[in-house]
Structure 1
Amino acid sequence: MGRGDPHRRRQARVKPRVAIAIGDPAGIGPEISLKAARDKQVRALCEPVLIGDRSALAAHGKACDLSLEGLAIVDRRQLAPGELRIGEVGIAHGRAALDAAEAAIRGALAGEYHAVVAAPHTEAAVKAAHAFFDGYPSFVARVCGLPANEGLLMLCFAHEGREVRIAHVTLHSSVEEAIRQISKETVFGTLQAVDRALRRIGIDHPKIAVSGLNPHACGSEEERHIRPAIAAARAEGFEVAGPFGADTLLERKGCDAYVVMLHDQGHVAAKVLAPNRAAALTIGTPVLFSSVGHGSALDIAGRGVADASAMREAITRLVGHRRRAVAT
């Protein structure tokens, strides 16, 4: 086909389909999902597909004056009549949140969606439903048929004109257990996953900075595990620097991602620098998956006042032009 071929131009204009799992139907998830799906910037970049209980979306749409007209919706029919109680913790709500996320992930695995973005769930509702859930990274990995520890978290947010991405070697573990999990293999595996993820979102030559575990990155763990992992990554051709003290890591500009050892080394920075704005990207799996960095806000659900910024940020990071931007 020639460069001016109209069929080729039409193919180039096809927008990626992004699945939006609506989260806890009793929280703000349906509201911010509707707002994101109707957002002009989002619709210019992709074709959003809402996945969840249509009756819950309709209830939130009515309460928040948001129309469902013209939106693509996959109705999971998760709730019986009268089962939805907006603003409350409910067993059915917890089941529905995970069902929507799993359906979206399986759709992405089947090639139906380019990426998946999940609205917030409610921990208490998931626990009440007796569902095993220890965070989206491991959940996504299990749905993809992988060991749970292959799903890793990378927090992404804009700060002072640059894109900050923070990946974690360990996540929802006690400090004692996390230290046991840190090894040359786990640190190297995280560096591999980060490098692949950055290339997948359009960064051709990723630059990664790595934190230590101990203050000033001076300790036995750095010598036995972290430095050897960095050396192995460099031997594979990765551009990796460190280890640096976690307290000064983000001061090192010009990096496309930062790798930290512990949950709080990354989450404290994200919550201080980008409250309610961080996107939580799962890496290390075949599915491009992101959730939002805030909760289900049951106290304001159904009132039409929820901020959908984090949902829009998550979507545009996965499919927008900013996905190719480096950190500076």
Structure 2
Amino acid sequence: MHKQALLLAATSHAAKVSELRQRLERTESELGEVKVRLQEKQGAATEVKALRKSLGEAEEKVVQEQADRKKLKARVKEVQQELQDAVKKCKALEHDVSVQGTELAKARQSAEAAQNEAQAALQEIQEAKKIAAGAFADSPRSVSDAVEFYRDEGGGSTEKLFWLQYAVPEPPMSFTDQLKQLVELHRVAELAMKDLIIRLWPAEAIPGSYFGLVRRMVNACPRLDVVKRSACIEGARMAFARCKMWWAKMNAVEVARGPPEGKEHRTPERYFADVIEGSRLAAAECGQDIIFE
């Protein structure tokens, strides 16, 4: 019984041991699998870690690329703005060049016109010099006569002061002084002509230009003949009128035609000395304000 019990116990124990071995084997197998899985997991963790590291590096690169992209975009915008500004400047420069070209053309035209005007002015100056040479030819003699005239004149008139400043001329006389002298002579001549015209044409208006004065003076000689004849008529009229005061029946026409018949020796010239004093008295009463044509 005891042996059977031991045998049963041993069998039971062996079975348990076998079961334990099986369990141990399964456990070892599972442990091996776990180890494999653990190793696989450890490898995966390493890969994950590597992947995470790569991912971090990739994210850093992406961030850096995004920053670089932003910088690039900003730079592109700056370049575009610079390009737009450059285009505007180029257009402005083209406009300025066009305007400058137009202004240059106008300036050239103005320069050509100015050159032509300068040449014309030079020709006028040369002609004026020729004219002035003729106009100033008499200037030294006129200045000398004017200085001599005003030196003996009393007072301190403007004319006297003007001419006496040339009493001791300093050769060569400047063009300005010569022109001043010519203008003064012109002024004096104008006054003299106006005064003479007033006397010769008392009822007519004075010409308003120097040329008009000169043209009027051209007719001065014929006018002087008219004035002389008018004065003679006015004097004779006064003389005949006074004679008629004494001899009312006197016929002035017959007296003017000549002496009575048979007394041809009585020429007017024989009585000039006798009537000169009376003629002066009669002339004093003549108005001389009427021109007898």
- Taking structure 2 as the reference length, the TM-score comes to 0.15
Greater relative contact order (CA < 8 Å, ≥ 6 in sequence): 1
Q: Name the one with the larger helix percent.
A: 2
Q: Name the one with the larger strand percent.
A: 1
